Amino acid sequence: MQTKVRAVNQAGAEVDLKATEGGILVTADIKMLWTAKGYGWSAMATTAVAALVVRPTVTAMNSLYNNTSEYFVIDRVFAHNLVAAAVTTSVLWVCVHPVGAVAFDTPTNDITVRNSLSGKQAGSANGFMDVAATVVDDGWFPWGKDAYVLTTTTPGGLLMAEIGGRIIIPPTAAISMSVVASVNTATFCGGFTWYQVPASELDVA
């Protein structure tokens, strides 16, 4: 007995699910579909900033402010060790700032490397990237694995926290990152990768 499997799409219409010739259900990572729709963006600082040797508080290495009406689904936070130091351990710290932009006096869009994940033209309409911003300490947490440098090789390695959508930044909210290391002579260029997703696509009600 044959069975047809159907699903309801975002428009509320029923659609047939697809399968291979052998009957294996075809699925796709939602992030691949968001990339195809042009939702994916990355931005990073062009100037290295010294790592902290204490827990971050009111100064962020880099911040991403949501200046749109859509939602920023954070995919990863990263930092490249531009100037390394021997016998050093470092780790990423992340702080989410709530809706209302109280974390910033005036968010600025500093000069950074910025591009899309789908070849679209990048611009300030896709988030403000603020370098060395003064922020509110809304709660910093370490993310991702630490990195250990035994001998000095400049430039050094990469710190990366695979967020994978576990942090979502709504309109007027923001996210900040910093690097804490065992020495402050190690410097890093940090950044974010995110998907700018319409609210209708995140409705799970």
Q: Give, for all 205 residues of the chain, the pLDDT tens digit.
A: 567 778 777 677 888 877 777 777 777 788 898 999 999 999 999 888 999 999 999 999 999 999 899 999 999 999 998 877 777 788 999 999 999 866 666 677 877 788 888 888 776 668 888 888 889 999 999 999 877 665 666 677 889 999 999 999 999 999 999 999 988 888 899 999 999 999 988 876 5
Residue 76: predicted pLDDT: 97
C-beta atoms surrounding 106 within 10 Å: 8
Structure tokens at 66: 């949501």
- Whether residue 173 lies inside any domain: the answer is yes
- Whether residue 180 lies inside any domain: the answer is yes
Q: Residue 81: which region, alpha, beta or left (left: phi > 0; alpha: psi -120 to 50)?
A: beta
Overall number of domains in the chain: 1
Per DSSP, the three-state class of 9 is coil
Structure tokens at 199: 């609210």
d(CA 175, CA 32): 23
Distances (CA, A) of 8 to 1, 57, 63, 78, 173: 23, 46, 38, 37, 31
Write the burial class of residue 161 (CB in 10 Å: 0-12 exposed, 13-18 middle, 19+ buried): buried
Model pTM score: 0.85
Residue 29: predicted pLDDT: 84
- Of 132, 90, 92, the closest CA to residue 112 belongs to 132
Residue 175: predicted pLDDT: 96
Residue 2: predicted pLDDT: 65
- Whether residue 79 lies inside any domain: the answer is yes
- Whether residue 82 lies inside any domain: the answer is yes
Residue 165's domain spans which residues?
Answer: 29-199
